[in-house]
Structures are given as C-alpha cells and as structure tokens.
Amino acid sequence: MPLVRVDLKKQQDPTYAKRVGQLIYAALRSAIGVPENDNFQILAEHDDQHFIFDPQYLGIQRTDNLVVIQITLSEGRTLEQKKLLYKTIVESLNTQLAVRLEDVFINLVEVKKENWSFGNGIAQYAL
C-alpha cells in the first residue's frame, strides 16, 4: 500500500535511483511488514534548478547528494515502527550506497485506507 516518491539530483550512474528504490522497498518490508510485490515507486532525478533545499535546516549539514523520500501509506503504524523504518532506510542507504546519514530526508504521509484505488476504479481497501 505504500507509494514511494524519491527525488534526487541527476546522477552519473543511471542505475543509482533504482538501487535507492530497491533499498527503500526492502526497508519497508522488514521494518513495517509491507507485503511482497506491494512496490509502487516514482523515482525522479533533477537538475540544479529543480532541486532546491536548505543545506543547514535544523542544524543538519546537507550536501548535493540529498535523497528526498516521501512515502504515502495507510495510517496505523506506531511511532516505534516509524522510527524503525527511518533508521532502516537511512542505514541501508549509508551502508549500501554510501549516502551520508545527513543526506536522507524522509516524509511519511498517512491516509485512510479508503483513499486507495489500485485499478479498475475500485477502492480495494475500503471496508
């Protein structure tokens, strides 16, 4: 049920964004139990004029390697689950792709289950 959007600066490696997405999906599976095959992602790379961020907001020193992750998912996860998800994503990006911890920005957007339609004009999760 999550919809993942990843935004980052254009990379020299054409596989980089896809690898970021794969690590996020693995983190979603392990940290909050997202089912197998429930993988919907939009991966976007931007030039300098279309990727704007504050490099020091809240005292966190960000670089041009910032990865912005927005995950829309059904509501109901505990604070502990969310914290585990953040930690799992950041640690996997750091260890697997050498992304600095400071360069991972995550935003969760929780919605009610009736706000999803996976096709056919049907709200599959509506009770």
DSSP readout, 7-19? Answer: EEE--SSTTHHHH
Which residue is listed with tokens 């969310």? Answer: 82
78: in domain:
yes
120: in domain:
no
Residue 41 structural domain = 3-115
What is the count of structural domains for the chain? 1
- CATH number at 88 reads 3.30.429.10
Residue 41 near residue 25 (C-beta atoms within 8 A): yes
122: in domain:
no
Respond yes or no: is residue 2 known to be catalytic: yes
The pLDDT assigned to 124 comes to 87
Q: Is 90 exposed, middle or buried (0-12, 13-18, 19+ CB in 10 A)?
A: buried
124: in domain:
no
Give me the tens of pLDDT residue by residue for the chain, a chain 127 residues long: 899 999 999 999 999 999 999 999 999 999 999 999 999 999 999 999 999 999 999 999 999 999 999 999 999 999 999 999 999 999 999 999 999 999 999 999 999 989 888 899 989 888 6
pLDDT digits (tens, 9 = 90+) for 10-45: 999 999 999 999 999 999 999 999 999 999 999 999
The pLDDT assigned to 125 comes to 85
From the list 2, 14, 35, 55, the catalytic residue is 2
Measured from the Cβ of residue 12, the count of other Cβ atoms closer than 10 Å reads 5
The pLDDT assigned to 117 comes to 87
